[in-house]
Structure 1
Amino acid sequence: MKAGFQTMLTHYGEENIHGAVVPPIFLNSTFAHDSFEDFQAGQGYYYSRHSNPTLEVLEKKLAAMECGEAAKVFASGMAAISAVLFHFLRQGDHVICSTPTYGGTYGILGPYMKKFGISVDFIDFRDTERVRAAIKPNTKLIACESYSTFFMEVFDVAAIIGIAKEHGLLTIVDNTCASPANFRPIEWGFDIVIHSASKYLGGHSDVIAGVVISSKEIMESIEQIEYGIFGGALGPFEAWLVTRGIRTFGLRMKQHADSALQIAKMLEENSNVARVNFPFLPSHEQHELAKKQFDAPSGLISFELHGGKASAARVINRLKYFKIGVSWGGFESLVYSPGMHGENEQFTGTPYEPRMEHLIRISVGLEDPADLMEDLRSALESA
């Protein structure tokens, strides 16, 4: 019987162990076998760096959420990204990556991969012809995010997938920002989905974790090589925490979406706000494309002030419910500005650079939206 999304999150992948409503945590590092022959045959588990029953519960749920065949969980989102990139890329390969992109992804694909002779072009995916024009004979894969985490820009997914398939390129998408509640990339034709499970999947800001979801063939290949030798496996307790978070994932995402839309509308009407970067607003130039591709928003919004860095600092310092911090997707509301980090190589010399200092990003948590809106209104008076 096919179950609904929240029902699947509650029950799928869990074993009935001694009638426990919550599956136990297998904290052991190693597993014993009954015989020489059993061990040699590879039956069961043998070492938690490779596999563990607690991790398998989570992996089954995550694969089902993203409509994938298999999943592996990692010690962080960056461990997941790194394993995938090192698995598929070889010296001399070329990558096309969307921009803006997550800072860690930019760091590994840009400056870091150069020492292995791997090149990358960072392209604005809103211009699909620029993506097509960037393809070279040695292009191996296309990497992107479901939408960008600073400006919330979206691109024509079907067009990018069509270009990739036309040229036989592998496609990798980081779906952390949108989450599988709102967008399921494999259904659109992506080959591999990556998440920082520290964010919406965990939902409680108490765990660092990552996940890769794909076909059984791809996941078995990554598991046999990078998963074991890089040592990036998620710990059993951390896996248990993410599983706990997933049980309320569907409900939490509905609240994030509803609150974010209310707050985005309020910000749009505030005279101290120059622009709201939220494509789910009817007034946004990408609204129709966002509606076509995503079921709902997540809780990430950014907005730009008329003033510069000092103006952003005044607003941020007056906020009470929005705590200053990186990341997103937890129960608590957070505020962050890229101007806090000074110069960012990814944006230097691009049209984004002058917008960064007066840009404020908020992660809308699970507090009452009326309280969050009043907090923002009061803070914006100082802009």
Structure 2
Amino acid sequence: MRMQTMLAHFGEETVHGAVVPPLYLNSLFTANSFDEMKSEAPYRYSRMGNPTTDMLEKKLAALDNGEAAKVFASGMAAVSTALLHFLKQGDHVICSYPIYGGTYAMLSGWMARYGVTCDFVDFRDLDNIRGVLKPNTRMLYTEGYSTMFMDVFDLRGAIAIAREHGLVSVIDNTCATPATLKPLDWGFDVVVHSLSKYLSGHSDLTGGVVVSSQDTIRKLTAIEIGVIGGALPPFDAWLATRGLRTFGLRMKQHGESALRVAALLDGHPQVERVNYPLLPGHPQHELAVSQMSGPTGLLSFELRGGEPAVRKFVDSLHWFKIGVSWGGFESLVYATAIGWQRDEVAGTEYESRVDKLVRLSIGLEDAEDLLEDVEQALAQL
């Protein structure tokens, strides 16, 4: 099956001819006898497994070309569980920057309380990775398409380093999505996503997923899900499955509209830089198109005039609502000057770019309306 056909049908058992599978809201599953309860039955308690969440997990594993998947109550629950599963006291992590804020907070501060250290380096130069390798380095963690500045890096080169040194490789693929990038095919061990964004696409649930080998997901479920929790509720899983049915179609629209918005911004006198490597002419365009099969709907740009110009632009938009998330049907705008982990990029080239950066999440509105909105907001500067 191709992607959209798989999303429409794979993993769904027909019950009474229902086109939409039932929702199993129950918290537990009973048995008919002592021996049946003692057996290795698939369902006992919904924290550990539920037919509705299982259906979603089958689709997500297939979407990423993975063996298995486990869904969580949030993207950060997925990230945290993956970190806690592989890392122990005394381990060292090499993480790319800029990285998602929650991940940065987890690796820069919280994990340090338990003896796990992390170096944040620019993966655009692979020598930066080699330069911080230590005898206790256990994990390489990154994003395939960075959250705010939309950088890409050489996936093959990074994985080669990880394999050479026996590192577990984990990638957050929320921004690029499996519609444009499948990291497991490139050799990554683990992929994490926020379900709250493109995968569900309707801004009505919070969730996350870890996709990996059957063995990793089995152990992660038995240990971390068992003792830490963080499982996705069945209703949210049902909503996510509904959203997945249109994932491929939505991503085409997001990407096509984003390319048009990026082209409008590119070369505009008020715009200093467009951060969208899928745009021809971008310094990373050749690398981006060699790794990503199509455009995504997330881009950023930097305005001349710094924070005052950013404030004026953001407040002049009509269809783009100000919000911290992205990937839904609605167009959103956010500026790092509003709030962002500045300490992550202190002393780097990114530091001077924070106050002038605007991120756009291109929704499913008519592209012409979005273009007119961006154009009129730029005209206010």
**Shorter-chain TM band:** over 0.9
- The answer as to 2:296 corresponding to 1:298 is yes
2:222 maps to what in 1?
A: 224
Question: In structure 2, the residue corresponding to 1:320 is in which secondary structure?
Answer: coil
Structure 1: give runs of 5+ residues left out of the alignment: none
Residue 375 of structure 1 aligns with which residue? 373
2:267 counterpart letter in structure 1: E
2:210 corresponding residue in structure 1 = 212
Counterpart-to-counterpart distance in 1, 2:341 and 2:152:
25
- Equivalence for 1:324: 322
| Structure 1 residues 255-284: Cα deviation after superposition (integer angstroms, max 9, x where no partner) | 001000011001103211111000011110
CA contact (8 A) 2:42 2:49 kept: no
The corresponding residue for 1:135 is 133
CA distance in 1, matches of 2:342, 2:124: 22
In the alignment, residue 376 of structure 1 is paired with which amino acid? V
- CA separation of 1:343 and 1:4: change in aligned 2, threshold 3 A: closer
> Which residue number corresponds to residue 201 of structure 1?
199
1:244 is aligned, of 230, 242, 247, to 242
In structure 2, C-alpha distance between the alignment counterparts of 1:350 and 1:115, rounded to whole Å: 26
Alignment size in residue pairs:
381
Query: C-alpha displacement at 1:341, in angstroms?
Result: 1.2
On the 8 A contact 2:94/2:140 being kept in 1, the answer is yes
Counterpart-to-counterpart distance in 1, 2:341 and 2:234: 38
* Range that drifts further, 186-195 or 43-52: 43-52
Are 1:20 and 2:18 counterparts?
yes
Q: TM-score normalised to the size of structure 2?
A: 0.99
Judge which range, 337-346 or 366-375, deviates more: 337-346
User: What is the aligned partner in structure 1 of residue 101 from structure 2?
Assistant: 103
Partner of 1:7: 5
Aligned equivalents of 1:110 and 1:283: distance in 2?
Answer: 35
Which shifted more, 3-12 or 338-347? 338-347
Residue from 47, 70, 73 that aligns with 1:72 = 70
Aligned residue type for 1:185: P
**How do 1:270-309 residues align onto structure 2 when only pairs under 5 Å count?**
270-309=268-307
The answer to whether the Cα contact below 8 Å between 1:73 and 1:233 also exists between their aligned partners in 2 is: yes
Q: Within 2, Cα distance between the matches of 1:183 and 1:356?
A: 27
CA distance in 2, matches of 1:262, 1:195: 26
1: distance between equivalents of 2:250 and 2:329? 8
Whole-Å separation in 1 of the counterparts to 2:164 and 2:42: 41
Provide the rounded CA distance (Å) in 1 between the counterparts of 2:109 and 2:340.
Answer: 18
The answer as to whether partners of 1:275 and 1:305 remain within 8 angstroms in 2 is yes
Distance 1:319 1:208 in 2: 26
> What SS class does the counterpart of residue 310 from structure 1 fall into?
helix
Counterpart contact for 1:337–1:359, Cα < 8 Å: yes
Shift of 1:342: 6.2
Match of 1:180 in 2: 178
Q: Which runs of 4+ in 1 moved over 4 A?
A: none
Instruction: Please name the residue that 1:33 is paired with.
Output: 31
Q: Who is 2:343 aligned against?
A: 345
Question: Any gaps of 5 or more consecutive residues in structure 2?
Answer: none
Does 2:89 match 1:91?
Answer: yes
1:145-160 map, 5 Å: 145-160=143-158
Judged with a 3 Å threshold, the aligned counterparts in structure 2 of structure 1 residues 161 and 84 are, in CA distance, closer, same or farther, namely: same
- Measured in 2, the distance between the counterparts of 1:309 and 1:362 equals 16
Among residues 229, 243, 265, which one is paired with 2:263 in the alignment? 265
Cα distance change, pair 159–92 in 1 and its aligned pair in 2 (3 A): same
Q: Partner residue of 1:125?
A: 123
Contact 2:101 2:340 in 1 (8 A): no
Query: For the residues of structure 2 that align with 1:342 and 1:290, how far apart are their CA atoms?
Result: 26
Task: Letter of the 2:283 partner, please give it.
Answer: E
| Paired letter, 1:146 | G
Superposition deviation, residue 229 in structure 1: 1.2
Measure, in 2, the Cα distance between the counterparts of 1:50 and 1:135. Answer: 37
Matches of 2:37 and 2:57, distance apart in 1: 24
Superposed CA deviations along residues 125-175 of structure 1, whole A, max 9, x for unmatched, are 001011012110000010000110111100000000001001111000000
The answer on whether the counterparts of 1:71 and 1:212 sit within 8 Å (CA) in structure 2 is: yes
1:49 maps to which of 47, 72, 95? 47
Query: 2-side partners of 1:129 and 1:221: how far apart?
Result: 34
Distance change (3 Å), C-alpha of 1:343 and 1:9: closer
Q: Does the 8 Å CA contact 1:272/1:305 hold for their aligned counterparts?
A: yes
State how far apart, in whole Å, the 1-side matches of 2:66 and 2:270 are: 44
CA RMSD of aligned residues (A): 0.8
Aligned residues of 1:311 and 1:382 also touching (Cα < 8 A):
no
Partner of 2:309: 311
Distance 2:42 2:170 in 1: 31
| Structure 2 residue corresponding to 1:360, chosen from 343, 358, 370 | 358
- Contact kept, 8 Å, 1:153 with 1:279, in 2: the verdict is yes
How far off is 1:41 after superposition? Answer: 1.2
Counterpart Cα distance in 2 of 1:117 and 1:351: 29
The CA distance in 1 between the partners of 2:370 and 2:337, in whole Å, is 23
Deviations for 1:212-255, whole angstroms, at most 9, x for unmatched residues? 00000111110010012111000000000000000000000000
Percent identical: 56
